[in-house]
Amino acid sequence: MGGARRPPLARFGSWLGVLPFFLFSGMFLIAPAVILAYRSLEGPDGTLTLDNYRALTTNTVIAAYSMSIRISLTTAVIGGLIGFFLAWAVSMGGLPRPFRSGLTTFSGVASNFAGVPLAAAFIFTLGRVGVLTALFELIGVDLYGGGFTIYSYWGLSLVYLFFQIPLMVLVMLPALDGLKQDWREAAENLGATPGQYWRRVALPVLLPSILGTMILLFGNAFGAHATAYALTGGLLPLATLLIGQQISGDVLNNPGLGYAVAMGMVFIMGLSIVLYSILQRRSERWLG
């Protein structure tokens, strides 16, 4: 079916098949982003300007971005490490086989269990009257008296890990499967200890995949709005919550600044997706 000598009508027909996709994406994904980009470059008098981006250094904006970045970094690194070891445990740690499929299904569920129900579950566990909080009180540990609250940086990080760890597990399991038995045998034949094998062979091969997935986790936490909203309302300064407040009313006292904050998020998310795909492609060289 060479496409070179197709009659014009058929060529038009093949474009017709993808036309709805481009129209729809244009209307509901691209145009909304473009209008925000356009408005972010528009001054109060309608002229083109970069003032809105200069205003990103406003304290409110800096506070929201830095909290978002801190929580995303924390949960990406901790969730990534725990997720990696968990994937290792069920694939190479010598655990009974059913644990692996069980963990895979559970990870599918937990990585999708974000939003209001997740926030509620943690309020019932570690909220002021949560079950665990009460249990700690029984043994004489006053969590909230000691300064802990679920509505804080560490609290929200703890909640986010509930979907971050499973996402890491789901991406790492196939990567670990890609490690070839031959490599280990070759290393052993050359006299390598298991430690040397991991340091010199397995980890270097896995590293792009591990780092790439951690970046994916970063973006995953950075763009999360529903969980944080349901948990804290507006208590915690976060970039997504700030944009939400800006939609409902002009909390920044500058509509243009709201658009710039949104574009800043798109920029960071885009960067993390690009880095993720580059690292993923790199890891496919060995693990593909």
197 residue type, one letter: Y
- Cβ distance to another protein smaller for residue 73 or 82: 82
Does 115 sit near another protein (CB under 8 A)?
yes
Does 278 sit near another protein (CB under 8 A)?
no
Distance CA 282, CA 272 (A): 15
- Cβ distance to another protein smaller for residue 208 or 256: 256
Does 138 sit near another protein (CB under 8 A)?
no
Nearest to 160 by CA among 240, 228, 255, 244: 228
Does 203 sit near another protein (CB under 8 A)?
no
For residue 40, the minimal CB distance to another protein (Å) is 11
Q: Binding residue for another protein (CB under 8 A) from 64, 143, 161, 257?
A: 161
List the interface residues with another protein, window 54-73 (CB under 8 A): none
Q: Are the C-beta atoms of residues 203 and 85 closer than 8 Å to each other?
A: no
**CA–CA distance from 33 to each of 170, 264, 270 (Å)?**
30, 12, 12
Q: Are the C-beta atoms of residues 196 and 188 closer than 8 Å to each other?
A: no
Does 28 sit near another protein (CB under 8 A)?
yes
Q: Binding residue for another protein (CB under 8 A) from 72, 111, 157, 280?
A: 111
Q: How many residues bind another protein (CB under 8 A)?
A: 100
Q: Which stretch binds another protein (CB under 8 A): 55-63, 108-116, 138-146, 279-287?
A: 108-116
Q: Are the C-beta atoms of residues 36 and 259 closer than 8 Å to each other?
A: yes
Q: Are the C-beta atoms of residues 73 and 220 closer than 8 Å to each other?
A: no
DSSP 223: T
Does 196 sit near another protein (CB under 8 A)?
no
List the interface residues with another protein, window 31-50 (CB under 8 A): 31-33, 35-36, 39
List the interface residues with another protein, window 218-277 (CB under 8 A): 219-220, 222-227, 229-230, 240, 243-244, 246-248, 258, 262, 265-266, 269-270, 273
Q: Binding residue for another protein (CB under 8 A) from 12, 93, 193, 207?
A: 93
Q: Binding residue for another protein (CB under 8 A) from 71, 78, 143, 170?
A: 170
Buried b (16+ CB within 10 A) or exposed e, 170-206: bbbbebbeebeeeebeebeeeebeeeebeeebbeebb
* Helix, strand, or coil (residue 31): helix
For residue 208, the minimal CB distance to another protein (Å) is 19
DSSP 42: B
